[in-house]
């Protein structure tokens, strides 16, 4: 079952913060976060593991709530380069299922 992401889209001014949420109906063991620029391949941001948090970027962090089966991605002091579509993926063994994506646009 595909994880659900919210919001579907968000527009920010440079320097503002944003939170993207990812929830699953299944038990989570790990959550992946990726960013995709238009027309390009998704790029890995970070993996969060059950019982821990793994930070991949300096101003982008994430949390993982196992009980609520949710993960949130926090973008602090957003930069223009943060624009793109963010996907969460939930892993079961080697099978990674992605959410529908959150489109983020950062304006000057």
Partner 1 sequence: DGGITQSPKYLFRKEGQNVTLSCEQNLNHDAMYWYRQDPGQGLRLIYYSQIVNDFQKGDIAEGYSVSREKKESFPLTVTSAQKNPTAFYLCASSISHSGTGKYYPLHFGNGTRLTVT
Residues that bind partner 1 (CB under 8 A): 2, 29-30, 32, 34, 40-44, 47, 49, 87, 89, 91, 93-101
Q: Report the residue number, 40 or 58, with the smaller CB distance to partner 1.
A: 40
Could you count the other beta carbons within 10 Å of the beta carbon of residue 12? Answer: 18
Q: Report the residue number, 16 or 47, with the smaller CB distance to partner 1.
A: 47
Tokens of 22: 């990812």
User: Minimum distance between the CB of residue 17 and partner 1, rounded to whole angstroms?
Assistant: 24
Q: Report the residue number, 16 or 69, with the smaller CB distance to partner 1.
A: 69
Sign of CA dihedral 91, 97, 100, 104: positive
Distance CA 45, CA 57 (A): 7
User: Minimum distance between the CB of residue 93 and partner 1, rounded to whole angstroms?
Assistant: 6
User: Minimum distance between the CB of residue 60 and partner 1, rounded to whole angstroms?
Assistant: 14
Tokens of 8: 């579907």
Asked if 68 and 31 touch (Cβ cutoff 8 Å), the reply is: no
User: Minimum distance between the CB of residue 3 and partner 1, rounded to whole angstroms?
Assistant: 9
Asked if 73 and 87 touch (Cβ cutoff 8 Å), the reply is: no
């Amino acid at each position: 079952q595909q994880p659900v992401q919210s919001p579907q889209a968000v527009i920010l001014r440079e320097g503002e913060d944003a939170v993207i949420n990812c929830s699953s109906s299944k038990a989570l063991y790990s959550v992946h976060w990726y960013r995709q620029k238009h027309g390009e391949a998704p790029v890995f941001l970070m993996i969060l593991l059950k019982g821990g948090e793994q930070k991949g970027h300096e101003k982008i962090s994430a949390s993982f709530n196992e009980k609520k089966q949710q993960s949130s991605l926090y973008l602090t002091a957003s930069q223009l380069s943060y624009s793109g579509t963010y996907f969460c993926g939930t892993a079961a063994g080697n099978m990674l299922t992605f959410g529908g994506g959150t489109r983020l646009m950062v304006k000057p």
